[in-house]
Structure 1
Amino acid sequence: MPIHYPNGNLYARAAQSSGGSQPARKITNKPTIYGGRGMTLEDELNASNAYYLQIGKAVVHKKPTPIQIVRVDYPARSKAVIKEGYFKTPSTTDYNGVYRGYYIDFEAKETKNKASFPLKNFHQHQIDHMRACLLQGGVCFVVMRFAVLHRLFVYPASPVISAWDAAQVQKARKSITLPEIEQHGFEVKPQLSPAVPYLDGVDWLIAKKEGAARGE
């Protein structure tokens, strides 16, 4: 089914992957570090959220993207096949929910780069959304995966926004270096269940938030 963005451009999953958002993982003979073999970062996060929900630890879901259906075929009386549709509005971030009484909102991004994380993986409306969530006291971040390095980070939204603003206004570098991510982020160690224990990083963010509120 062809699906289009609000500007009329055709949405293509392959093109999206090549842009660095969620590229397919390269298959190698090395042991798989992550819990879900052959799973994308999105798949692993969805499975992790299902696990967190099952054990009563957090309620987090992937946000559905509204699609306007414009053409439907009816090959049989009891069947309807969607042939064409459009994304109604640009998406915000990938996931949101509640954890420890906090609203959490985050984006999941992946890159094949080894030395830095390209800002082109983000869009202005996502930056604006994260900025708005922070203003309301939410816990907002990005789950970043360096696919080639097999490294995964929970990275706060604030430095992402700062880097984006600098790149737009001051024409600064258009990426966040790995040393910056190591310094200001929280490295997550994948495991069996959940495959992506990103709530460990959220605990770290909440501790920082609560410490700042106490003036520490």
Structure 2
Amino acid sequence: MNFHYPNGKKFISPGNLQPKKNKNVLRETISHGKRGMTLEEDLNETNKYYLETGKAVIHKKPTPVQIVDVDYPKRSAAVIKEAYFKQASTTDYNGVYRGFYIDFEAKETRNKQSFPLQNFHDHQLNHMEQVQKHKGITFVIIRFSLTEEIFLLPYPHLKKYWDRMKLGGRKSMTKEEISKDGFIISLGLQPRIDYLKIVDHLCPSSDERTR
């Protein structure tokens, strides 16, 4: 199935950009897969737990899609052949926790010591900037998949490194920088990624909310 961005550019899944794997690499990938789910799956499980226990209401945002070509191989089945993203996506998740609006992006990398800033986009940073201006809580959750390390990085720190790149600096954040400015989250069972423990430290006080 073909997807296209609002500007007409064809969407290519990151998985389709990977070179063919040799047997050793394939064996490593299978082994890694047994260690845990993807970041999105873990976060969806976490949010389901938060909802069922009444702790928070946070969901993954649906991406609006316009279908332009459908094939009907059978009368009872339809296969989407081509579709377009109606608009550029903002961030992955949003919801409400303790009366606060929560909005965040989730990203993974197989790099060992850095996270490429090209994985973010201007419209996402602009969106997070607007959320913060309206006193919402916005951040990114980053997983280094090879080492299973997960960090929560508040938006102001992401913006700092984004601005550095825009001024001609390095095009990535080092793991050391993310660790220094962010918070590490241990992978658990229930919930899988308990990021609200960190959000508790980011929530402004009553005095700050009224300013």
> Which bin holds the TM-score, normalised by the shorter protein?
0.7 to 0.9
Deviates further, 76-85 or 3-12: 76-85
Moved over 6 A (4+): none
Aligned to 2:208: 213
Secondary structure of 1:28's counterpart equals helix
Secondary structure of 1:26's counterpart equals helix
Q: Which amino acid aligns with 1:62?
A: K
Structure 1 residues 5 and 72, CA gap change in structure 2 (3 angstroms)? same
Structure 1 residues 113 and 72, CA gap change in structure 2 (3 angstroms)? same
Cα distance in 1, alignment partners of residues 62 and 29 from structure 2: 27
Aligned to 1:121: 119
Aligned to 2:138: 140
Cα distance in 2, alignment partners of residues 196 and 16 from structure 1: 28
Cα distance in 1, alignment partners of residues 153 and 207 from structure 2: 17
Tell me if structure 2 keeps the 8 A contact 1:59–1:97.
yes
- 1:133-189 alpha-carbon deviations (Å, 9 max, x no partner): 111101000001111222101110111112112211x21111112222112111101
Q: Which amino acid aligns with 1:138?
A: G
User: By how many angstroms is 1:13 displaced?
Assistant: 2.3
Cα distance in 1, alignment partners of residues 53 and 4 from structure 2: 38
User: By how many angstroms is 1:15 displaced?
Assistant: 4.3
Structure 1 residues 123 and 29, CA gap change in structure 2 (3 angstroms)? closer
Structure 1 residues 14 and 116, CA gap change in structure 2 (3 angstroms)? closer
Which has the bigger relative contact order, CA under 8 A and spacing at least 6?
A: 1
Tell me if structure 2 keeps the 8 A contact 1:186–1:204.
no
Q: Which amino acid aligns with 1:164?
A: W
- 1:47-105 alpha-carbon deviations (Å, 9 max, x no partner): 11111101110100000000011112233444333221100111000000000110000
The reply to whether residue 203 of structure 1 matches residue 200 of structure 2 is: yes
- 1:4-30 alpha-carbon deviations (Å, 9 max, x no partner): 112222223244786xxxxxx933379
> Any unmatched runs of 5+ in structure 1?
19-24
Q: Which amino acid aligns with 1:27?
A: I
Tell me if structure 2 keeps the 8 A contact 1:48–1:194.
yes
Aligned to 2:86: 88
Cα distance in 2, alignment partners of residues 160 and 29 from structure 1: 28
Structure 1 residues 51 and 30, CA gap change in structure 2 (3 angstroms)? closer
- Identity among equivalent positions (%) equals 51
Aligned to 2:190: 193
Cα distance in 1, alignment partners of residues 172 and 90 from structure 2: 20
Tell me if structure 2 keeps the 8 A contact 1:63–1:96.
yes
Structure 1 residues 79 and 15, CA gap change in structure 2 (3 angstroms)? closer
The reply to whether residue 100 of structure 1 matches residue 98 of structure 2 is: yes
Cα distance in 2, alignment partners of residues 63 and 143 from structure 1: 15
Aligned to 1:79: 77
The reply to whether residue 27 of structure 1 matches residue 30 of structure 2 is: yes
Structure 1 residues 79 and 29, CA gap change in structure 2 (3 angstroms)? closer
Cα RMSD (Å): 2.5
